Amino acid sequence: MRIRELYEPRILIALTNEETDFLNTHNEHRIDLKTLHERERRVVENLLFKDVLYKISDHEVATNEYVTREKRTSP
């Protein structure tokens, strides 16, 4: 498990190692869903539910502005 800090309102959210690896691999602001494998799409769904990503359109998601961009490790 990894902890990701949200800037405002300063909330810590637990991410799985798979979710953390996905965010580190796809560190651009926008992510095209058409280029992802089925398992990666499932990870995106989890990150949408946790409010780390938001949906721009049916084919594109982006990282919320208040999510830290740097790589973090377990505390």
Q: Where are the domains positioned within the chain? A: 2-63
Indicate the pTM of the whole model: 0.74
H or E element in which residue 39 lies: helix 38-49
Predicted local distance difference test score (pLDDT) of residue 75: 44
What is residue 42's three-state secondary structure? helix
Tens digit of each residue's pLDDT (9 = 90 or more) over 5-33: 555 566 677 888 999 899 888 877 889 99
Tens digit of each residue's pLDDT (9 = 90 or more) over 36-66: 999 999 999 999 998 889 999 989 999 887 7
Record the tokens describing residue 67, joined without a space. Answer: 């999510």
User: Are the beta carbons of 73 and 60 closer than 8 angstroms?
Assistant: no
Residue the block writes with tokens 């919320």: 64
